[in-house]
Amino acid sequence: MLQLTKRTEYGLIALVHIAERGAVDAGAFVSAREICDRYPIPRRLVAEVLKALQKHAIVESQRGATGGYALTRRPEQITLGQVVSALEGAPPLTSCESPIVLKSGGCEVQSMCPIRSPVNRVREQLWGLLEHTTLRSLLPTRSAPLAIGAANGAAHANAAAAQLD
Amino acid sequence: MLQLTKRTEYGLIALVHIAERGAVDAGAFVSAREICDRYPIPRRLVAEVLKALQKHAIVESQRGATGGYALTRRPEQITLGQVVSALEGAPPLTSCESPIVLKSGGCEVQSMCPIRSPVNRVREQLWGLLEHTTLRSLLPTRSAPLAIGAANGAAHANAAAAQLD
DNA sequence: AGCAAATAGCATCAAATTGGTGCCGTTTGC
DNA sequence: GCAAACGGCACCAATTTGATGCTATTTGCT
């Protein structure tokens, strides 16, 4: 289904929460417990998601009693694409590009597949939209407008957003 | 996963094929057999997909010996959104909007969910991209450029494409 | 009339993905 | 040294998805 997984949802909730806490308490580490205390999310899941985000250098973690998670960079430098990629893997959108198919000799339809390259362009468009939508634009307050205009237009929108800091 | 299903892929392959055949042979009905003879797609699947497309009035079918399928309207009037919607159902992207959750009282996180409305905007952006990408732009020859610029810009791109015929 | 081709509708099944959970080890502040 | 919190691993249940079989009905052609 063309749908974000719960993992991604939870990840976004966590990231937004961490970003908000970080805005007031710079340098503070937010614990997974704090997040799942505030939102009805299984603690185990939050931990799993945050672990994945940490491995992809989107958040950094601090162990120990006062430990927790913090963003490795500013919200405007974290894109939805990075988050989705970390939590769901690269988005092959069409199975032509999926690792499984590729390692088994590639898509058999490939040579004559009439939709391969066009759908790939669609995939890149969709992906571009995610890549150019930043975590900052998901924050409730002082939120930047969404990267409207997708792939092409987003280049400017994003560049502009990046210059905000 | 943020990925089109095989059903959708098969559907697009079939639609592109039918569109191409229709371009030369106006009014001809393309059989499912012809499609799965040309592409390594299980015949049963093609039939199932085409049946779904027929129920959503994207293709019309003709039974009997020389029967088959034909587009109900021109390629530039068939959008990726319509195809995906017919084959995968409406795209809730976030579970907040899924029918299951809604009928069971709605998303519990809803009232305090920090990502609900922003992610919904993203969902609409993604969906808008699909809605404004036509089957014509997937055709290999005389292909119109993809609806670049998504939601906002696509309004013009699509209007322009519609005027092609 | 009868045969062959093709869609329509049904149900079923196996595999993959996903959401969710438990347990235990390690680190760190108090 | 104790409690809090992350890190890692394996596991399970539910849903979705890909795929298949069988039969009935329609229609063109001989």
Confirm or reject contact between A39 and chain B (CB < 8 A).
yes
Last residue of a domain, one of A43, A71, A99: A71
B39 domain residue, yes or no = yes
Q: Is the pLDDT of residue B79 over 80?
A: yes
Other C-beta atoms lying within 10 Å of the C-beta of residue A149: 21
Confirm or reject contact between A140 and chain B (CB < 8 A).
yes
The structure tokens listed for B53 are 């497309």
**What would you measure as the largest C-alpha separation in chain A, in angstroms?**
59
Using a 7 Å cut-off to protein CB atoms, list the covered nucleotides of chain C: 4-10, 17-23, 26-30
Backbone angles phi, psi at B8, to 5 degrees: -65, -40
| Stretches in chain A below the pLDDT threshold 70 | 90-121, 141-165
pLDDT at position A149? 46
A33 domain residue, yes or no = yes
What is the domain range of residue B58?
Answer: 6-71
pLDDT at position A128? 84
Residues 6+ apart with CB under 8 A from A25: none
Same domain, B30 and B94: no
What is the CA B8 to chain-centroid distance, rounded?
Answer: 7
Average pLDDT in the B107-119 region?
52
Question: Inter-chain contact B150–A150, Cβ cutoff 8 Å?
Answer: yes
**Sign of the Cα pseudo-torsion (B109, B110, B112, B118, in order):** positive
pLDDT at position A118? 60
Provide, rounded to the nearest whole percent, the portion of chain B with pLDDT above 70. 65
Question: Which residues in chain A touch residue B13, judged by CB atoms under 8 angstroms apart?
Answer: 109, 113-115
B1 domain residue, yes or no = no
pLDDT at position A137? 86
Going through chain A in order, the beta strands assigned E by DSSP cover 59-62, 68-71
Least confident of A126-130, B30-34, B142-146: B142-146
Query: Angle at CA A160, nearest 5°, toward A154 and A161?
Result: 85
Same domain, A87 and A139: yes
Q: Is the pLDDT of residue B65 over 90?
A: yes
Last residue of a domain, one of A19, A38, A71: A71
Question: Which residues in chain A touch residue B130, judged by CB atoms under 8 angstroms apart?
Answer: 2, 122, 126
Average pLDDT in the B133-152 region?
65
Residues 6+ apart with CB under 8 A from B26: none
Same domain, B19 and B52: yes
Is there a contact between B43 and B36 (Cβ–Cβ < 8 Å)? Answer: yes
Last residue of a domain, one of B48, B71, B94: B71
Query: Angle at CA A137, nearest 5°, toward A147 and A25?
Result: 155
Strand partners, A69: A30, A61
A1 domain residue, yes or no = no
Same domain, A24 and A87: no
- The residue among A87 and B140 whose pLDDT is bigger is A87
A14 domain residue, yes or no = yes
Confirm or reject contact between B118 and chain A (CB < 8 A).
yes
Is there a contact between B133 and B143 (Cβ–Cβ < 8 Å)? Answer: no
Question: Which residues in chain A touch residue B14, judged by CB atoms under 8 angstroms apart?
Answer: none
Same domain, A17 and A87: no
Q: How many domains does chain B have?
A: 2
Same domain, A29 and A53: yes
The b-or-e profile of A41-67 (16+ CB within 10 A means b, else e) is: beeebbbbbbebbeeeebbeeeeeeee
- The reply to whether A2 has its C-beta less than 7 Å from any atom of strand D is no
Closest Cβ–Cβ partner in A6, A13, A133 for B122: A133
Q: Mind telling me how many Å the CA of B162 is from chain A's nearest CA?
A: 19
- The residue among A155 and B65 whose pLDDT is bigger is B65
Same domain, B46 and B112: no
- The reply to whether A89 has its C-beta less than 7 Å from any atom of strand D is no
Question: Inter-chain contact B138–A148, Cβ cutoff 8 Å?
Answer: no
Backbone angles phi, psi at A6, to 5 degrees: -60, -40
Average pLDDT in the B1-17 region?
87
Mean pLDDT over the full length of chain B: 76
- The residue among B163 and B71 whose pLDDT is bigger is B71
> Which is nearest to A94 in space by CA: B9, B38, B105?
B9
Question: Which residues in chain B touch residue A20, judged by CB atoms under 8 angstroms apart?
Answer: 114
Q: Tell me, what CATH number does B36's domain have?
A: 1.10.10.10
Q: Mind telling me how many Å the CA of B53 is from chain A's nearest CA?
A: 17
pLDDT classification of B142: cutoffs 50, 70, 90: low
pLDDT at position A9? 86
Is there a contact between A70 and A59 (Cβ–Cβ < 8 Å)? Answer: yes
- The residue among B85 and A151 whose pLDDT is bigger is B85
> Which is nearest to B82 in space by CA: B9, B131, B13, B155?
B131
Q: Which of residues 25-64 of A touch strand D (CB under 7 A)?
A: 31-34, 47-48, 50-51, 54-55, 61-64
Least confident of A128-132, B76-80, B117-121: B117-121
A-contacting residues in B 64-103 (Cβ below 8 Å)? 80, 84, 88-89, 91-95
B49 domain residue, yes or no = yes
| Beta-carbon-side half-sphere exposure of residue B55 (alpha carbons within 13 Å) | 9
Q: What is the rounded distance in angstroms from the CA atom of residue B161 to the CA atom of residue B142? A: 12
What is the CA A77 to chain-centroid distance, rounded?
Answer: 11
